[in-house]
Structure 1
Amino acid sequence: MEAVKEKKRVIREKISITLSAFSDSELADKTKAVENRLFDFANFFESKIVLLYINNVNEVNTEQIIKKSLKLNKIVILPAIGTKNHEIKLLKIDNVETDLKIGSRGILEPDAEKCKLVPVECIDIAIVPGIALDEKGSRIGFGDGYYDRLIPKLPLTARKVGIAFEDQIIKQVPTESHDRHVDIIITEKRIIYKI
């Protein structure tokens, strides 16, 4: 188990170095290409209730995805991460400017006092963050296991979609028994269906 954790740490470090080498314009172009591919993806286009996330470092920037989803009248759900028991609350946002605050991890998340709690079984599609993924749908996050606990609770009909840059796709993610997979990965170059 410790060997797997160390392998994941090394992968996170390598991805961080790779992504930090991108120029601002390269990063913007890659991000826009991921966004375009996501919005052209039929499962996303047809969905009504979308679970998104606000990116942390080494994750695809989701700001424009969230804003465009709101403009398309999708019901946008974002996670609020609790410090107790590593819980995730799923909250509906209506406005990026007024419904977010800095959360326990130091990034923006929905303000529980302003946003409505949404049951997990309402989600049509879940966009799942990842620092590294492989073509089988295995993923590495930040190591706190929030999404490993959330993914099994999502409806069976909800697509679990990882978005990442092609440089974040690796040959094989080292996994542990508690790790959960995504069904589909969207990069700036392709859509990968779990095989």
Structure 2
Amino acid sequence: MARNRKMEMGMDEVRQKKQEIRNEISTFFDSLPADQIEANTHIIESRLFEFANFLESKIVMLYLNAENEVATDNIIKRSFEFGKIVVLPVFDAAKGIIQLMKIDNPDKDLVTGTRGMLEPNPDKCKAVPMDCIDIAVVPGIAMDEKGGRIGPGDGMYDRIIPDLPMTTRKVGLVFEGQLIPQVPMESHDKHVDIIITEKRVIYKI
């Protein structure tokens, strides 16, 4: 019993630390001029489209960014120009269900999902099995050089990543200022293989 209480205290401390990091990253974003955010995003986008694993992939899982995540609007549009099959996740937080769905037109195929964010419309888009994904580009509010990542706290991508094939490259996009020395990890937290920032590409594979 005492050991369980100690573990709970440890997890509470980790979650508190994660929230402190989220707050720090929010302050970091607030301090960046809009033109700097745009410039950093453009460089990261260019690096992704020069990245061999991305260029060679056919079916790519992307994300629609939330607050304090690298914007992906243009990445999604350019992926169609590169002949990619674009897949986005659909989250049902209440049921704990995650599905991947193929979109053909971001302007017509997206609706507001259960989290209040745009997601593929299940009535229009086809489901895609996890094991079909060649490369998965995942968001993060903060990451470390070992591939540890912090999301908004809903744990959705921690549930997607382990269901993807081992051969699927998991790529995180963050600004250099979102890199921290060490992400406090919980048992359910999952790593990415590669991180792309506006300054470098970090390989963890």
Q: Which TM-score applies when normalising by structure 1? A: 0.98
2:29 is matched with which residue? 19
Q: Distance in 1 between matches of 2:19 and 2:93?
A: 22
Q: Which of 95, 102, 113 matches 1:103?
A: 113
The alpha carbon displacement at 1:104 in A equals 1.4
The separation in 2 between residues aligned to 1:13 and 1:97, in whole angstroms, is 32
Segments of structure 1 that go 5 or more residues without pairing to the other structure are none
CA distance in 2, matches of 1:88, 1:128: 14
Q: 2:101, 2:155 → 1: CA distance? A: 19
Q: In the alignment, what sits opposite 2:14?
A: 4
The Cα shift of 1:86 comes to 2.3
Q: Which residue of 1 aligns with 2:190?
A: 180
DSSP-derived class of the 1:136 partner: coil
Report 1:1-195 matches (<5 A). 1-194=11-204
Letter in 2 for 1:89: Q
Amino acid at match of 1:3: E
SS in 1 for 2:162: helix
Letter of the 1:92 partner, please give it. Answer: K
Identity %: 58
Q: Which runs of 4+ in 1 moved over 6 A?
A: none
> What is the CA–CA distance in structure 1 between the aligned matches of 2:179 and 2:97, rounded to whole Å?
28
Give TM-score, length-normalised by structure 2. 0.93
Q: 3-state DSSP class of the match of 1:69?
A: helix
Q: Larger C-alpha radius of gyration, 1 or 2? A: 2
Q: Kindly indicate whether the alpha-carbon contact (under 8 Å) linking 1:87 and 1:146 is maintained by their aligned counterparts in 2.
A: no
| 1:86 counterpart letter in structure 2 | G
Deviation at 1:57, TM superposition (A): 0.2
State the alpha-carbon separation in 2 of the partners of residues 95 and 50 from structure 1: 15
- CA distance in 2: counterparts of 1:128 and 1:93, whole angstroms: 17
Give ranges in structure 2 of 5+ residues lacking alignment. 1-10
- 1:193 CA drift (Å): 1.1
Using the TM superposition, give the Cα deviation of residue 158 of structure 1 relative to its aligned residue in structure 2, in angstroms: 0.4
Question: Which amino acid in the other structure matches residue 104 of structure 2?
Answer: D
Deviations 1:79-118 (A, max 9, x none): 1111233221100000011000111112111101010000
